[in-house]
Each structure stands twice: as structure tokens, then as C-alpha cells.
Amino acid sequence: MQELGGRVAVVTGAASGIGRGMARAFAAEGMRVVASDLEAGALAVVAEELRASGAEVLEVVTDVADAQAVEGLAAESYARFGAAHVLCNNAGVLNDNRPTWESSLDEWSWVMGVNFMGVVHGVRSFVPRMLEGGEPGHIVNTASMAGLMAGTTNAIYYASKHGVVSLSECIQNELNALGAPIGVSVLCPGPVRTEIVDSDRNRPNAPPVDEPSREYRRRFRRFLDTGVEPDDVGRLVADSIRDERFYVLTHPSWDSLIKARFEAMLDGTAPAAERWPRE
Ligand SMILES: NC(=O)c1ccc[n+]([C@@H]2O[C@H](COP(=O)([O-])OP(=O)(O)OC[C@H]3O[C@@H](n4cnc5c(N)ncnc54)[C@H](O)[C@@H]3O)[C@@H](O)[C@H]2O)c1
């Protein structure tokens, strides 16, 4: 999609981090923005900031894990702007690390519900409307480097992000087969300086944080602090839509981890063990 100005972008998880970076980048491109998030207070602040910059903004509080709520988001977006040209299924959460067999089903439901089903809900509610509109469009699904490389910890997060990569690949091929004018990108960032370490601020009935989890979060935050700025990722996403780039990576220095995974597959060997988070 070459021209972004005047078109409508919907962003989930827009109240913080990468989603806010995307919303800012789209507003700077002259797009109309539907900013959506579960956290009402932080969302109102971002919406005000975007309006002050001159953008036309609709803010919608939505839990992406709730299919009906996302259907409501689509209905409100179309009622206000009559179209959604860019859909960013970005909202996501990070769980604390513990062995897979010790992770509760509640933890699985929370992370898969937001990171994976949140994308499914966005696709199911928006794509039929986008196809019916017949206008050029683009879907950006936020996965992670964790969706491309072999994991050693945090299996739930890795599994959710591998799912988003696979889903995105299939959707792109389905849309191509239809000849639809809708592109897809899957965003696979390495470390970005955001608030994801404190994801349980939005978790229903979040369990208390124990000391190993506190220590894990401290290490993870130090790791993210070595990363890139979310506003730079937002601008990269806007450019990738224009360039019709499918895989959007932020850290070229990590390419070797992707290669190592595919080489292990072809060799039939165990996946390379990358300690996580890197110190
Ligand atoms: N920060 C990183 O290093 C990094 C790396 C790879 C991928 N990602 C992915 O980027 C995306 C954005 O995360 P971030 O790092 O900006 O974190 P963040 O915590 O700063 O922002 C995430 C936003 O999503 C919202 N959110 C959480 N649960 C929600 C729900 N159920 N419904 C709607 N909104 C919800 C939060 O309120 C928050 O505003 C996530 O999908 C994450 O997995 C982040």
C-alpha cells in the first residue's frame, strides 16, 4: 500500500510501547487512527497526544482476548471512519519464566488468549469487512524473534509467537490466492524498550509475584533496556507497509539464531540452546 495519508489505521495495544510507536508513526503520516487498548487511562493519554498532534483519533477500550469485544471494535471503527486500511494486531503479554510443566492452565489461557487468539479475533472481525470494502489494505501482526528462533525458556510465549508467524504466512497466501489487494506483515522484534515486563498489570486475577519471578523481571528489563526504541519500530512498520515487506525484523545481528534453527531442522539435531534473556 503506497499511500498512507488519509487512510485509516487500527492499532491494538496502542496505549504503550510498540503499539503507541505505531500509532504515532501513522498519525505523523496523516492517517486517521483507531487506538485501542485494554488499559483505559493510558489509552486516553495517548489518544489526547495524537489529537494534539493534529490526527483524527477514535479510542476504543478493547480486550483482544474477547472475540465479541473485537467485533465491537471493528463495528465502531467502520461506523466512525467507514473503512480500516491498516490493521495492527499488536496487543501482547509476556509471562514469567518457569518450566512448561509447572505453568498453570490459567497462564496458558492468558498468554495464548491475548497473543494468539487476539490476532485471530482481529483477523476474523476485520478481514471480511476489508475484503467487502475492496480498497487496498494491510495487516500487521506482531509476533517476535521468539516466533522465529528455538526457545529455551518461556514456552507459552514462544508457542504463541510461532503461532502468529504461521497464521500470518497462511493469511498472506490465502489473500494472494483470492487476488485481494491486502498485504500482510509479521513484525518480529528483538528487544524493544517497552513495559512488557509488567504485563500482568492488565491480567485478570493476576497471581502474586514470587521472588524468582521478580528476579526474572529485573533481568528481562535490563535486557530490554539494551534494545531499540518503540517509536523507531513504529516508523519501521509504516515503511514496511509501503514497501510490502512481509517479515519485519528489527535486529539483523540476531539472524544467526534463525539460521541455526533451520540448520538444526535439516540436520535433525537438537535446537541450539540460546540462554534467555541474554545478559
Ligand atoms: N518489547 C519487546 O522487546 C518485544 C519484542 C518482541 C515482541 N514484542 C511484542 O510487541 C507487542 C507489544 O508489546 P510491548 O513490548 O509494546 O509491551 P507494552 O506492555 O509496552 O504494550 C502492550 C500493550 O498491550 C496492551 N494489552 C495487554 N493485554 C491486552 C488485551 N488483552 N487487550 C488489549 N490490549 C492489551 C497493554 O495494556 C499495553 O498497552 C506484543 O505483542 C509483544 O509480544 C515485544
Q: Which of 191, 214, 204, 141 is nearest to 171 (CA)?
A: 141
Query: Which residue type, as a one-letter code, is found at position 67?
Result: A
**Averaged pLDDT for residues 171-198:** 98
Q: Whose CA is nearest to atom 42 of ligand 1?
A: 92
Give the pLDDT confidence score for residue 150 in this predicted structure.
87
Q: In this structure, is residue 132 part of a structural domain?
A: yes
Q: In this structure, is residue 71 part of a structural domain?
A: yes
* Pocket-testing residue among 194, 224, 257, ligand 1, by greatest number of atoms within 8 A of Cβ: 194
Q: In this structure, is residue 279 part of a structural domain?
A: no
Domain of residue 96: give its range.
8-267
Domain count, the chain: 1
Work out the number of other CB atoms within 10 angstroms of the CB of residue 163. Answer: 18
CATH of the domain at 225: 3.40.50.720
Q: In this structure, is residue 273 part of a structural domain?
A: no
Q: Which residue has the cell 506483515?
A: 185
Q: In this structure, is residue 209 part of a structural domain?
A: yes
Which region among 94-98, 104-108, 217-221 has the lowest average model confidence (pLDDT)? 94-98
Helices 117-133 & 67-81 angle (0-180, nearest 10): 30
- Its pTM surpasses 0.95: yes
* Pocket-testing residue among 12, 24, 37, ligand 1, by greatest number of atoms within 8 A of Cβ: 37
Q: In this structure, is residue 197 part of a structural domain?
A: yes
Residue 263 has pLDDT above 80, yes or no: yes
